[in-house]
Chain A
Amino acid sequence: MKLDDRIEAVASAAASYPWLGDLTAESILRWIKLELGRFLHEANPQEYGHHHCLVQALSPILHVVSGNTPHAALQSLIRGIVVGAQNWMKLPEGGLPEVDEFSLKLPAALRPELADHLNQSWLQDAEAIVVFGTDETIHQFSRRLLPTQRLLAHGHKISFGLIRIPFDRNVVNGAALDVFVFDQLGCLSPQLYYVAGDSVGFASLLATRLEELCRTTAVTTVREYEIASALRSCREEWKYRAATEPGVRVWESPGTLEWVVIHDPAPCLVPNPLYRTIFIKPMPSDLGSVLAPIRRHISTVGLHPVDRDSVELATRLGAQRVCQIGQMQNPPLTWHHDGWPTLASLVRYVDIEGWGASD
């Protein structure tokens, strides 16, 4: 199928999924142009420096996706379709209904093959393997691949926010949204905020905003007992600490496990069971050493403000992406997911020297 038809098909299918972001035909074209210029459009070699170049999709692509992340699964599939690859997808046990539904909205020629078990021939025959999962999962796959197969590994990540100057209501509202969506289970979901200045005030306002969001949006109020017990245990421990340790404060959804905001004056990183559990900490002077244990696992750093100093700081800390507070969950189509170009990583370049010399 031609590129324009693929783009139209993807844009049409994606129209039913607003949470996939800006996926119109125009935006997809801009994305392709940004990463691959005219390469995908033209069958003829294109000028590239002092020589010419063609690109070919790595195909087939095997996408190995994990549970609870249909967003990432569909993004990966869309990238494969756009570059023109044949796509295979290994779904988690129990499947991902969003992927099934999306596939059915595509023309038959573009539909991926789906399975909830790993087809061994897929692993042998794929030219590229995109894996979402734990370190262990990624390690397992990497050991089974040939060096000639391209592995694109998306491990689990930690995101957080830095509020470096006095905040206003927009910052609080943005932070609440970043925590609120996807049950805080995304790799772009903040697990904590470091706040310069009135960190207790920020925590208190954030709590108020989270409660407002829960009252105006349909949310899960009763959790399955294993999740609920982890949330309850975390909450009760921090309430004990709030009662006995100076500076620790807890704001929680009354009578439910919908959200909890915990102010902890200690800068150190702490375990977070997620599901709208957010820690607020005063900005430490030695952020680099505090965050050293997670340096290689940082995804997004939400910033206030997004200025040169803050961006340099976040980059030094290991951020793959920085954005305004409130936009942490909305990466642009053109973002470099985990630090590399999303389309250009799924093609191979064929360099052609002497093109036209014999004309």
Chain B
Amino acid sequence: MIVSLEAEILSFLSEPLEDQFEPLALRIFDYQRRENLPYARYCKFLGTPQRVGSWKKIPGVPQQAFKRSELRSFPVGRTRAEFRTSGTTGEGHGKHLFLSLRLYEAAVQRGWDFFGLPRQSFILLMQHPDDAPFSSLCRMGGILADFRRECFLVTQNGCFELDRLRESFIDRERPLTLFGTALSFLNLFEQAPDLQVEMPPGSIIMETGGFKGSGRDMQKNELYELFSRHLGIATDSIWNEYGMTELSSQFYSNGINRPHRAPPWMKFLIIDPNTNQEAVPGEVGLLRIVDLANLWSVLAVQTQDLALARPDGGFLLLGRDPGALPRGCSRAMDELLQLARN
């Protein structure tokens, strides 16, 4: 049963048929509700009926749940891979467990190809997955770059290999794909303020992640100005990957203020936080994601990110600053707890 469902999803990833999304999503939901005990308990708590009828009715597990439970849709003891969230909020790591990485690998590859992203000459501002086995991002980089160590420019100790990076820019004919977190790019520009090159024509930059927990902050247009200043690349050649450890697939956007779009095996809903129901079109709400490749955990994840659906089928990510919440003169407990932990 497990193998056949995995094979069906793999097949969908290879040849997506829109009318097959919903039946497949509902079958995965049935399977996960049967095999994933914490998720089953959550569905029961919410009073979710046995047959939900629409992918939109599949309960999204809160992202934080990955920190509280082992959301595993397969027997204990058969875990083949584990990715962990960064734990930057001080509440410990969230865990995403896998029986197999076949779906994860396929989702990374097919998603990249779906958006026509170039695969040549990767420069990855991240550690090799052997040095960071619990990082889903490093694994993603490994999958894209065939795990070639020379593509990874962050050492086991977390230092940039700046000389190798500069060498990468010498050949002006070979287009490059430079991929890293926004924070890693910021650190790079601070450590190498004299870095000023022109990336070869056809090159792209893929940046991902925010600055959460780093004590840093920067608007996207400021970051993209830095890209332009240090790497001589136009905004149109800069992409953003929106993903998370709790998912197996990724959304992508290109340039500034453009929507993120999903590959065919992912869909999203904007949830009105006041009613916990789907928001009316044009309203800002919380992003809920359904990812068919998330067979081994839970396919529907309720994020804490605010977004706005666009008529073209994508969404504009608005992000969120919990620190900006008006609190009157009542002190934020988390701020003090964070201080105590430090």
Q: Encode A87-125 as 1/0 by CB contact (under 8 A) with B.
A: 000000000000000000000000000000000000000
Complex interface bits, B325-336 against A, C-beta within 8 A gives 1, otherwise 0:
111111111101
How far is B64's CA from A182's CA once the two chains are assembled, in angstroms?
A: 29
Q: Is B76 an interface residue (CB 8 A)?
A: no
Does residue B3 face the partner (Cβ distance < 8 Å to A)? no
- Whether A184 pairs with B330 at a CB distance below 8 angstroms is yes
- With A222-B274, A226-B320 as known contacts, state yes or no: A293 contacts B328, CB within 8 Å: no
- Which residue of B45, B284, B337 contacts A269 across the interface (Cβ within 8 Å)? B337
Residues on the B chain within 8 Å of A187, using CB: 328-331
A49 interfacial by beta-carbon distance below 8 Å: no
CB-based contact B333/A269 at 8 Å:
yes
CA of A51 to CA of B325, assembled, Å: 53
Query: What residues on B are CB-neighbors of A191 within 8 Å?
Result: 330, 333
| Those of B306-342 within 8 Å (CB) of chain A | 306, 320, 322, 324-334, 336-337, 339-340
**Contact: A237 with B62, CB < 8 Å?**
yes
Interface size (B, Cβ < 8 Å)?
A: 42
Asked whether A293 lies within 8 Å of B65 as measured between CB atoms, the reply is no
B38 touches A244 (CB 8 A): yes
On whether the beta carbons of A155 and B331 are closer than 8 Å, the reply is yes
Q: What separation, in Å, do the CA atoms of A144 and B65 have in the docked complex?
A: 46
The reply to whether B337 and A244 form a contact with Cβ atoms under 8 Å apart is no
Interface: B42 (CB within 8 A):
yes
User: A186: which of B272, B330, B334 is its contact (CB, 8 Å)?
Assistant: B330
Please give the distance in Å from A76's CB to the nearest CB on chain B: 12
> In the complex, are the beta carbons of A294 and B324 less than 8 A apart?
no
In the bound complex, what is the Cα–Cα distance between A264 and B42 (angstroms)?
A: 17
- Cβ of B46 under 8 Å from chain A: yes
Q: Which of A66-74, A313-321, A345-353 contacts B (4 or more CB under 8 A)?
A: A66-74
Interface string of B253-297 (1 = CB under 8 A from A): 000000000000000000111111000000111100000000000
B220 at the interface (CB under 8 A from A): no
Hey, which chain A residues are within 8 Å of B69, CB to CB? 244
Q: Which chain A residues in 126-158 approach chain B with CB under 8 Å?
A: 132, 154-158
Q: Does A292 contact B (CB under 8 A)?
A: yes
**Smallest CB separation, B124 vs chain A (Å):** 32
Least CB distance, A135 to chain B, in whole angstroms: 9
Q: In the complex, what distance in Å separates the CA atom of A241 from the CA atom of B69?
A: 9
Interface-central residue, A132, A159, A255, A271, by most chain B CB under 10 Å? A271
Task: Tell me the bound Cα distance from A271 to B323 in angstroms.
Answer: 12
Q: Is B100 an interface residue (CB 8 A)?
A: no
Q: Which residue of A67, A68, A297 contacts B331 across the interface (Cβ within 8 Å)?
A: A297
B328 partner residues in chain A, CB cutoff 8 A = 66-69, 182-183, 185-187, 189, 274
B34 at the interface (CB under 8 A from A): no
Which residue of chain B has its CB nearest to the CB of A65? Answer: B329
Most A C-beta atoms less than 10 A away, residue of B284, B327, B331: B327
Query: In the assembled complex, how far is the CB of residue A134 from the closest CB belonging to chain B, in whole angstroms?
Result: 9
Query: B327: shortest Cβ distance to chain A, in Å?
Result: 6
Q: Is the CB of B274 within 8 A of A274?
A: no
Task: Tell me which of A157, A189, A241 has the highest count of chain B C-beta atoms within 10 A of its own C-beta.
Answer: A241
Is B109 part of the contact surface with A, judged by Cβ < 8 Å? no
Instruction: Give the size category of A's interface with B.
Output: 35 or more
Q: B199 interface residue, CB < 8 Å from A?
A: no
A44 located at the interface, meaning its Cβ lies under 8 Å from any Cβ of chain B in the complex: no
The answer to whether the Cβ of B61 comes within 8 Å of any Cβ in the partner chain is yes
B331 contacts A230, C-beta separation under 8 Å = no
Q: Which residues of chain A from 192 to 233 have any CB-CB distance to chain B below 8 Å in the complex?
A: 221-223, 225-233
Q: Which of A132, A241, A273, A294 contacts B325 (CB 8 A)?
A: A273
> How far does the Cβ of B338 sit from chain A's closest Cβ, in whole Å?
9
A155 to B331, CA, bound (A): 8
Indicate if B78 sits at the interface (CB-CB under 8 A): no
B64→A154 contact, CB < 8 A: no
Find out whether the CB atom of A227 lies under 8 angstroms from the CB atom of B304: no
**A294 to B330, alpha carbons, bound, how many Å?**
12
Shortest CB–CB separation between residue A97 and chain B, in angstroms?
16
Enumerate chain A residues within 8 angstroms of B164, measured Cβ to Cβ.
none
Residues of A228-260 whose CB lies within 8 A of B:
228-233, 236-237, 239-245, 255-257
Flag whether A1 is at the interface (Cβ < 8 A).
Answer: no
Cα A293 to Cα B333 in complex, Å, equals: 9
Tell whether, in the assembled complex, residue B336 and residue A236 are in contact, meaning their CB atoms are under 8 Å apart: no
In the complex, which residues of chain B have a beta carbon less than 8 angstroms from the beta carbon of A233? 62, 64, 273, 286, 304
Given A185-B326, A186-B328, A274-B327, A239 and B273 touching (CB < 8 A)? no
Alpha-carbon distance A187/B275, docked complex (angstroms)? 28
Q: With A156-B330, A182-B328 as given contacts, are A294 and B68 in contact (CB-CB < 8 Å)?
A: no
Q: Say yes or no: is B41 at the interface (Cβ < 8 Å to chain A).
A: yes
Q: List 27 A-B contacts (CB under 8 A).
A: A66-B329, A68-B328, A72-B329, A132-B329, A156-B330, A158-B330, A185-B326, A185-B328, A185-B330, A189-B330, A225-B273, A225-B274, A226-B324, A227-B326, A228-B272, A229-B320, A230-B325, A231-B273, A240-B42, A240-B61, A241-B68, A269-B337, A271-B332, A271-B337, A292-B340, A293-B336, A297-B336
A: residues with CB less than 8 A from B are 66-69, 72, 132, 154-159, 182-187, 189, 191, 221-223, 225-233, 236-237, 239-245, 255-257, 269-274, 292-294, 297
User: What 6 pairs across the A-B complex have the smallest Cβ distances?
Assistant: A185-B328, A243-B45, A293-B340, A232-B273, A271-B334, A228-B273
With A233-B286, A243-B38, A292-B340 given, name 17 new contacts (CB 8 A).
A67-B328, A154-B329, A158-B330, A185-B326, A185-B328, A189-B328, A222-B274, A223-B274, A225-B285, A225-B306, A229-B306, A237-B65, A240-B65, A241-B68, A244-B69, A257-B274, A270-B333
Binding site for A on B (CB under 8 A): 38, 41-42, 44-46, 61-62, 64-65, 68-69, 271-276, 283-286, 302, 304, 306, 320, 322, 324-334, 336-337, 339-340
